[in-house]
């Protein structure tokens, strides 16, 4: 098991004296206090490198902190270790006979899960285990897929699980102190990203992108923290669909986290199309780039995800922006890759868009929040500005393929500030 020091909790009797030392004498920043009413505690966090000090102040005599200070005096109260999987950590400790305060994790701040280990098991220190917010919150979500009626279409947001990609690469020039608030990294600096293909049900049934698929080995899963405990097949079934129901598959681009699910390996080891009746629509320029990768983009392209489509004769290459089925259009954005495209959907006067890696998560809504992975970031900026302006004006429902928590939402501009209103 790997653990990272999240914070050190210090029971404080005289806050002014504590601030005089940590803030004034040491010159550290102290964040705005957080009130935990249920515990009768006020917490003042002091960032120190990758971890924090937590100055804990009792707000009522019945507070556990007040009782602790009465008994043992002020000082070190607990340390908090962040782990990737809190249930696994508890099971491991239990198997070793460690005395636990909490046998089951309970909800903590910001969607985190926490559990305490008894000081008698930890050299006299109260140890809090913590599993970070986003992934903990995702696991707690009901498994229902979200369905949206849009004019004559039904849009069904599916999920092919989660991967962890380097947080720095995901936010390009945005400094870590800014992005880590929106996307907390794990001990290897990876942030959790979902893969959310979209089904468009109209005259025909279309699937946009197909997630990672299941052809990857254990090493790949380790590197990318792959969690497909809930996959495309599960969510297709929840939506009342099977692979045979898909008439058309459309690729925004051919990176492995979008096209991996296009093919499957059968029992004989042969790789074949995953959707047996489907035609696969791919932009010709993207096809050329994916089949002739260079050093900068090679890691993103895996030939097994798409070359077998050409061999099976189910590949449909398109050269320019066009209607794929009535009401559904592919529109090139460039930026992320030269021929990356979004899918624009329109019916009954309403619009939706599947923007893929133009804005992979809701954190990428601001203009300058552009991925370091993008080959042509300034083109991303131009395409994003154009798209956002139109999406606000037309009240477009925007689907975020990689956001771990929000499948879709509406962009708004309030007092000159761009915001996102999640769809629910
Ligand atoms: Zn991509
Ligand atoms: Zn992607």
pLDDT in tens, the chain (424 residues): 778 888 999 999 999 999 999 999 999 988 888 887 778 888 899 988 778 999 999 998 889 899 999 999 999 999 999 887 888 899 999 999 999 999 888 877 655 788 999 999 999 999 999 987 654 444 444 334 688 999 999 999 999 999 999 999 999 999 999 999 999 999 999 999 999 999 999 989 999 999 999 999 999 999 999 998 889 998 998 889 999 999 999 999 999 999 999 999 999 999 999 999 999 999 999 999 999 999 999 999 999 999 999 999 999 999 999 999 999 999 999 999 999 999 999 999 999 999 999 999 999 999 999 999 999 999 999 999 999 999 999 999 999 999 998 999 999 998 888 999 988 6
Distance of alpha carbon 148 from alpha carbon 152, whole angstroms: 11
List all residues 6 or more positions away from 70 whose beta carbon is below 8 Å from its beta carbon.
Answer: none
Centre a 10 Å sphere on the Cβ of residue 58 and count the other Cβ atoms it contains. Answer: 21
Tokens 């979004």 correspond to: 342
What is the whole-number distance in angstroms between the Cα of residue 226 and the centre of ligand 1?
16
Q: Please give the distance of CA 188 from its chain centroid, rounded to a whole number.
A: 15
Residue 342 and residue 358: Cα distance in Å, rounded? 8
pTM (predicted TM-score): 0.70
292 Cα–ligand 1 center, Å:
16
**Cα(256) to centroid(ligand 2), Å:** 8
- What backbone phi and psi angles, to 5 degrees, belong to 396? -75, 135
User: What is the Å distance from ligand 1's center to 221 Cα?
Assistant: 18
pLDDT at 3: 83
- Tell me the Cα Rg of the chain: 24
- How far, in Å, CA of 115 to CA of 77, rounded? 15
Which residues keep their CB under 5 angstroms from ion ligand 1? 255, 357
CA gap 170, 258 in Å, rounded: 16
Which residues have a beta carbon within 5 Å of ligand 2, which is an ion?
257, 357
User: What pLDDT, on a 0 to 100 scale, did the predictor assign at position 38?
Assistant: 75
Q: State in Å: Cα 141 to ligand 1 middle.
A: 26
């Amino acid at each position: 098991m790997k653990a990272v020091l999240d914070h050190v909790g210090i029971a404080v009797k005289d806050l002014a004296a504590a601030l005089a030392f940590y803030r004034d004498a040491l010159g550290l920043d102290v964040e705005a206090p957080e009130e935990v009413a249920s515990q009768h505690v006020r917490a003042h966090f002091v960032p120190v490198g990758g971890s924090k000090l937590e100055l804990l102040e009792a707000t009522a005599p019945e507070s556990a902190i007040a009782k602790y200070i009465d008994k043992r005096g002020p000082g070190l109260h607990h340390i908090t270790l962040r782990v990737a999987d809190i249930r696994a950590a508890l099971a491991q400790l239990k198997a070793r006979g460690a005395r636990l305060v909490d046998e089951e994790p309970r909800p903590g701040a910001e969607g985190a899960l926490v559990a305490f280990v008894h000081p008698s098991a930890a050299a006299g220190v109260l140890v809090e285990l913590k599993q970070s917010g986003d992934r903990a919150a995702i696991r707690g979500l009901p498994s229902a897929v979200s369905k949206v009626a849009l004019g004559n279409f039904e849009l069904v947001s599916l999920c092919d699980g989660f991967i962890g990609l380097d947080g720095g690469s995901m936010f390009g020039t945005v400094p870590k102190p800014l992005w880590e608030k929106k996307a907390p990294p794990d001990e290897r600096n990876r942030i959790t990203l979902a893969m959310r293909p979209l089904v468009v049900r109209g005259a025909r049934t279309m699937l946009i992108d197909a997630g990672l698929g299941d052809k990857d080995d254990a090493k790949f899963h380790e590197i990318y923290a792959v969690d497909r405990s809930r996959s495309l097949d599960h969510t297709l079934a929840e939506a009342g669909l099977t692979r045979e129901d898909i008439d058309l598959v459309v690729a925004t681009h051919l990176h492995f986290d979008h096209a991996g699910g296009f093919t499957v390996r059968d029992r004989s080891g042969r790789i074949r199309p995953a959707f047996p009746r489907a035609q696969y629509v791919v932009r010709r320029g993207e096809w050329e780039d994916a089949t002739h990768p260079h050093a900068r983009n090679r890691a993103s392209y895996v030939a097994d995800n798409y070359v077998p489509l050409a061999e099976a004769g189910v590949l449909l290459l398109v050269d320019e922006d066009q209607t794929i089925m009535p009401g559904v259009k592919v529109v090139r954005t460039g930026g992320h890759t030269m021929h990356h495209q979004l899918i624009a959907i329109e019916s009954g006067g309403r619009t939706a868009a599947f923007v893929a890696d133009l804005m992979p998560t809701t954190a990428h809504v601001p203009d300058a929040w552009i991925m370091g992975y993008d080959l042509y970031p300034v083109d991303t900026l131009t395409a994003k500005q154009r798209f956002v302006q139109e999406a606000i004006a037309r009240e477009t429902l925007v689907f975020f393929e990689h956001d771990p928590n929000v499948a879709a939402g509406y962009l708004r501009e309030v007092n000159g500030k761009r915001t996102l209103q999640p769809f629910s």
